[in-house]
Amino acid sequence: MRASIFLFLLAAIGPLHATRIVSIAAASDLVYCLEELNAAFEKAHPGIELKTSTGASGNFFAQIKNGAPFDIFLSADVSYPRELIKAGLAVEDSLTNYAIGHLVVWTALKDVDVSEGLSSLTSATIDKVAIANPEHAPYGRAAKAALEKARLWTALKDKIVFGENIAQTAQFIQTGNAGAGIVALSLVLSPKLHGVGRWVEVPENAYPRLDQAAVLTNRGSANPDAARYLNFLRSPEARKVFDRYGFRLPEQSAP
């Protein structure tokens, strides 16, 4: 009898102490930045666990449209959250522009010179040029646009290899599987890649602006902790983290 009462009390009390979970789908240019942001949020909210998946924004967009259980979507392209809102799958007034993404030409190899930026990629010392897949990665579309504007896309087409997302693209370059490539500024500024190789920022007028935005999905609208996290991303504390990774907002002047 006592055992039955004990089990009943455990069943009744347990949910009160259960970990609250916020499920986040995030563009892979945020992979290192989010480690800092999430650590700060979880320190301030010890009862909330953040489960983060990173990848190509276009893939997450398709997954959420097909019912994937994410509470928050942090996209590298504001058009995807807007499309979710238009489809009735996300909360309109939750749309938050959190960053402007920036491209860099980067190499991890000592004998490769990228000081001339995009034109450096035509060098015979670079066997492969890595960019994210333009089909579903906003950074890949921006990289392709920059190469086309510089009239280099056709010349480099046979050298280009596609990463599934911008983080995988950086991995190709970091491991030397590609001699150089075009990646997110946020990745080369991260503590894990800072000082690895050399990079040059691509001029902002060379490609369409990468307006990055977060949105609360319909599923997330029923999770108060998801709204708390989104509010945290708007905070001065979060802004300092974003700034350290080069995510300058429109009102901020480039250094």
Is residue 49 predicted with pLDDT exceeding 90?
Answer: yes
Confidence of residue 19 (pLDDT cuts 50, 70, 90): confident
Is residue 250 predicted with pLDDT exceeding 70?
Answer: no
Check whether residue 146 and residue 176 sit in a common domain: yes
Check whether residue 15 and residue 136 sit in a common domain: no
The verdict on residue 163 lying in a domain is: yes
The verdict on residue 44 lying in a domain is: yes
Check whether residue 166 and residue 193 sit in a common domain: yes
Check whether residue 83 and residue 29 sit in a common domain: yes
Check whether residue 46 and residue 106 sit in a common domain: no
What angle, rounded to 10 degrees, do the helices at 138-149 and 166-174 form? 70
Is residue 215 predicted with pLDDT exceeding 80?
Answer: yes
Check whether residue 95 and residue 217 sit in a common domain: yes
The verdict on residue 251 lying in a domain is: no
Check whether residue 93 and residue 180 sit in a common domain: no
Check whether residue 60 and residue 113 sit in a common domain: no
Check whether residue 117 and residue 183 sit in a common domain: yes
Check whether residue 112 and residue 135 sit in a common domain: yes
- Kind of pairing, strands 96-101 and 210-216? antiparallel
The mean pLDDT value for 21-50 works out to: 96
**Cα–Cα distance measured from residue 243 to residue 103, given in angstroms and rounded to the nearest whole number:** 15
Confidence of residue 254 (pLDDT cuts 50, 70, 90): very low
The verdict on residue 30 lying in a domain is: yes
The enclosing domain of 150 has a CATH number of 3.40.190.10
Q: Considering the chain, what is the average pLDDT of its residues?
A: 91
Give the number of domains in the chain.
Answer: 2
The verdict on residue 84 lying in a domain is: yes
Confidence of residue 248 (pLDDT cuts 50, 70, 90): confident
Per-residue pLDDT of 173-206, as tens digits, reads 999 999 999 999 999 999 999 999 999 999 999 9
pLDDT value at position 17?
A: 52
pTM of the model: 0.88
> In angstroms, what CA-CA distances link 85 with 98, 99, 156, 208?
17, 19, 37, 22
pLDDT value at position 249?
A: 77
pLDDT value at position 183?
A: 98
| Residue 226 structural domain | 2-100+210-244
